[in-house]
Structure 1
């Protein structure tokens, strides 16, 4: 685990999974059907429990003002600041390890109670898992 500093707020627009974790692949399929992807776009997974079960959102950073609305998507802000994080390699070989990694990260003292569990898909083989620390 390491600290990772997000130097600016990120506006993420998203598709909400119908269930967690079963609905995650369909949410990404729906998102990538709506928005043409290229090698420069980074996929995000953003989740946290909200009044009960975990709500999972498959998202992209908004590249220009109004992009979320163009695609009919809701959006959220990932707040700048310090996150506890780790990078998983070859995550597609065992995607369940992402959940295991978040369980470890969530044991870190001083987490922001309003923060999200954030997956940043750096490439086809690497994902950064991160959770915001209190300011």
Structure 2
């Protein structure tokens, strides 16, 4: 586990995966295809619990304010600047079934801010960072 500092607020937009955990890849593919830059911007998976349900969104970093409206996306979301507990997963595409275990370990750390969303930052096809805001 490592500490990661997000230096400024991160403004994201995207769509909910209503069939979570099924449909994540298809949702990301649709988001990437919809945007003119395709893979030329950062992408994120953002999730949190509502009762017994996991709410999961595939999201892209905003290039300009209210970009979500231009593309008719369901949700605009701000990930707050600050310190996060993080774990980097290499070769993540072959480990998608174990990502929940990475977040389970992060959530057990007493430094985690309860109720903060789980953020997956897809840095590349090889590297993904799992992070949760610290207290």
Pairwise same-fold verdict (TM > 0.5): yes
Asked if structure 1 preserves the Cα contact closer than 8 Å seen for 2:32 and 2:38, the reply is no
- Distance apart, 1:130 and its partner CA: 0.3
Structure 1 residues without counterparts, runs of 5 or longer:
none
Aligned twin of 1:67: 67
Q: CA RMSD in A?
A: 1.4
Residue 9 of structure 1 corresponds to: 9
**What SS does the aligned partner of 1:40 have?**
coil
Distance 1:17 1:26 in 2: 9
Instruction: Mark the runs of 5 or more structure 2 residues left unpaired by the alignment.
Output: none
Q: In structure 2, what is the Cα distance between the partners aligned to 1:48 and 1:59? A: 14
* Stretch of structure 1 that moved more, 49-58 or 3-12: 49-58
1:48-127 alignment runs, 5 A limit? 48-73=48-73, 74-127=75-128
TM-score w.r.t. length of structure 2: 0.92
The number of equivalent residue pairs is 134
CA distance in 2, matches of 1:77, 1:51: 22
> Could you tell me how far apart the structure 2 residues matched to 1:31 and 1:40 are?
12
Give, in whole Å, the separation in 1 of the partners of 2:38 and 2:19: 27
After TM superposition, the score normalised by the length of structure 1 is 0.92
**What secondary structure sits across from 2:27 in the alignment?**
helix
Q: Is the 8 A contact 1:18 1:27 kept in 2?
A: no
